[in-house]
Amino acid sequence: MNSVSEIKTAAGGLVVSNPGILNGTPVFRGTRLPVKILFDYIAEGLTLDYFLQTFEGITSEDAKAVLLHSFDRIVAELQR
């Protein structure tokens, strides 16, 4: 069993890393879907709508929030 201290969250709790789920791979909260798949789809030129149709458990709002959080992190890094 995993300790609560081993579970980490990001993007306002939308992303969870739990050693007991896919060895700690960051996933969308409440799923076993790695967040990296969203970025892979976008990088391959697939649409957000196609991603959402493929993975019905993810809401548009959550996917967009993760993307915006990533952009905010880039901006913050550049402002250092």
Domain residues for the domain of 13 are 4-78
Residue 37 sits in a domain whose CATH number is: 1.10.10.10
Residue 30 falls in which region: left (phi positive, over 0), alpha (psi -120 to 50) or beta:
left
The count of structural domains within the chain is 1
Question: Which residue matches tokens 């909260």?
Answer: 29
- What are 9-54's pLDDT values in tens digits? 999 999 999 999 999 999 999 999 999 999 999 999 999 999 999 9
Ranking 5-9, 24-28, 68-72 by mean pLDDT, the lowest is 5-9
Q: Looking at the predicted structure, is the pLDDT value of residue 65 above 60?
A: yes
Q: Looking at the predicted structure, is the pLDDT value of residue 64 above 80?
A: yes
Q: Looking at the predicted structure, is the pLDDT value of residue 4 above 80?
A: no
Find the angle CA(63)-CA(3)-CA(27) to the nearest 5 degrees.
15
